[in-house]
Amino acid sequence: MTHERELTAEVDLCTPDGSALNPAALGWSRGPLHRANLEGRFGINKRWDYWGVLAGDLVVSSVYADLDHLGLADVWWADLRTGATGGSVVVTVGNEDFDLPDRPGARPLRLDRDGLTLAFVDEDGGTRLTASWTEGDGRPGRLDVHVALPPGHESLNVVIPWNEERFNFTSKHQARPAQGKLVVGDERWPIGGDAGDAWGVLDVGRGRWPSEITWNWGGGAGRVGDHVVGLQFGAKWTEGSGFTENGIIVDGELTKIGRELDWQYDWDAPMEPWRVVDPGGQLDVTLVPRYDKHTQLPGRDRGSETHQVFGTWSGRLRTDAGLELEVDGLQGFAEEARQEW
């Protein structure tokens, strides 16, 4: 349950001149309604679309981001069974090759640069993710995945306000069925279909960020009997804002949780279990990790560092409609990111 205001009509994220947060934009919605009119204020604007695919023993992610001073695009994959990983990344000084629309999905995102070809294209029934690249060992890589958007499937969309000059709109999608393939050299990983359930994850970000921030993000999806369950939650970056990115999606319907959740894990031992608990009693789940994607980049002060672990969630949840479910073996992830922009 939540005390937060639910929005039901389209709204601009910023004031007409783009300089500050539009007070009317504060709230959450069951689908993307915000137009991120981030005019001016160069240097603090952050725009990205991040896609993840959870496919049993395989995880894949890809990002297309305009960070004002930098452009970033990548494809990354890991075989959780063997520990093998790969992919490609492009970083540009300046953002001239990167163009994200004010409204998520309003036009395709494409890049063809430095050996990486990448496209996110919305089409009937979902989004197609395609990419091609060359691995560090010379093998060609190719990704082709369709992430479905079933009719009426809801997402969690919310504005997190730190103040009128620093704020972020996020659109989080979980439990979207995925099907396709990853091919690297002579190896081929089928995704979804006969290979078992696979799920797409989307994180849209449009906002103006402080120079340093820490966040948690977690999510996952799977089947519980006849139900399809999605998990979506975060922490740290939302504290004190009056809004959260916490929710449960069951059969496409979102239950928004307005309370901050209690995250229990050890930064220094990320392969130990991660537990997330709602003090209000609607959620108590634990992720048992199989793989830690640890990234660390230098910076002017503390730099940036992330532990993103992939594994399976188990526990219990309750929707606003009163449906109580015991979940076990949901594919998912959890992370802490210490970010210096």
SS3 letters across the chain:
CCCCCECCCCEECECCCCCCECHHHCCEECCCCEECCCCCCCCCEEEEEEEEEEECCEEEEEEEEECCCEEEEEEEEEECCCCCEEEEEEEEECCCCCCCCCCCCCCCEEEEECCEEEEEEEECCEEEEEEEEECCCCCEEEEEEEEECCCCCCCEEEEEECCCCCEEEEEEEEEEEEEEEEEECCEEEEECHHHCCCEEEEEEEEEECCCEEEEEEEEEEEEECCEEEEEEEEECCCCCCCCCCEEEEECCEEEEECCCCEEECCCCCCCCCEEEECCCCCEEEEEEEEEEEEEEECCCCCCEEEEEEEEEEEEEEECCCCCEEEEEEEEEEEEEEEEEC
Residue 138: per-residue pLDDT = 98
Task: Give 27-47 pLDDT, tens digit per residue.
Answer: 999 999 999 999 888 889 999
Residue 282: per-residue pLDDT = 97
Residue 70: per-residue pLDDT = 92
Task: Give 169-222 pLDDT, tens digit per residue.
Answer: 999 999 999 999 999 999 999 999 999 999 999 999 999 999 999 999 999 999
Residue 118: per-residue pLDDT = 98
Quick check: pTM over 0.75?
yes
Phi, psi of 195 (to 5 degrees): -80, -5
Low-confidence ranges of the chain (pLDDT < 50): none
